[in-house]
Amino acid sequence: MIEATIDDGIGRLLLARPEKRNAMNAEFFAKLPEAVESLEIDDRVRVILIEAEGRSFSAGLDLVSMAPALAAGVTPETITRLQSGFLRLALCRKPTIAAIQGHCIGGGLNLAAACDIRVCSHDAVFSLPEVKLGMVADLGALELLAEVLPRAVVAHIALSGATFRAVDAAGFNLVTRVYDSVDELRSGVTTLAALIASNPQPAVLALKEHLLASRQESLPGKLAKVAATNAALIGGKAFQDSFPTFLKARVNLHETS
């Protein structure tokens, strides 16, 4: 599901499961930390760009394939393993950019939040719907969005579970630019990545080190805490009652062309 390539200093991570709107399955969670690390340690890579094939950035967790595990309940350790790639991305020593089109839902927004810079096309839609399922966003979005958005905005997004559009994301300062089309997004984000890659590498790495200083101290502990919270919620009645309806809606989303 994840393809890693390098081109003129730009390390590209491509979400390549467009037929499922790049929903995140077990393969994604296994490969994400490895893919991020492979680009981070490669001296040819000066900036990492996360893109997606098809009409959506990511519709979040592939609840169809992960349904049995979720229905049976999970442990904090299970969630910690799912968090590992997002944490690796959030603590990456090199600059990271997310190029978002279409759906950026749940895990998709968690993935985008782990990047330093987010840009999107006009058709992008965002949400953290976990609360509707009786759980909380546990892959980093709550903690990472709190670094860039006002507390009230994070509360609005997370507590409502509502969908918001690109114009709202720009108004929240969640994204730094909205492009009129996906083609313009791809061209514009490549230009931005190339600009960052062209800057003196020692200065770029030093800047990133300073940006990461406080995050390295606090983020791992915060994610461990939310993993424990969600393990308890997923084993509770509210989640188990909500899951079948939520799963049916997600199946319909994946099957919509």
Predicted confidence (pLDDT) per residue in 163-192, tens digit: 999 999 999 999 999 999 999 999 999 999
Say what the pTM is.
0.91
pLDDT of residue 67: 74
Model pLDDT for residues 43-79, shown as the tens digit of each residue: 999 999 999 999 999 999 998 887 777 666 788 999 9
**How far apart are the C-alpha atoms of 97 and 78, rounded to whole Å?**
27
Residue 47 has φ and ψ, to the nearest 5°, of -155, 150
**How far apart are the C-alpha atoms of 107 and 128, rounded to whole Å?**
8
Which domains occur in the chain, in start order? 2-182 (3.90.226.10)
Does 256 score more than 60 pLDDT? no
Our CA angle for 149, 2, 98, nearest 5°, is: 25
- Coil, helix or strand for 127? strand
**How far apart are the C-alpha atoms of 224 and 83, rounded to whole Å?**
9
In the predicted model, what is the mean pLDDT of residues 133-153?
A: 92
Q: Is 46 exposed, middle or buried (0-12, 13-18, 19+ CB in 10 A)?
A: buried
Q: Which two tokens stand for residue 15?
A: 């979400």
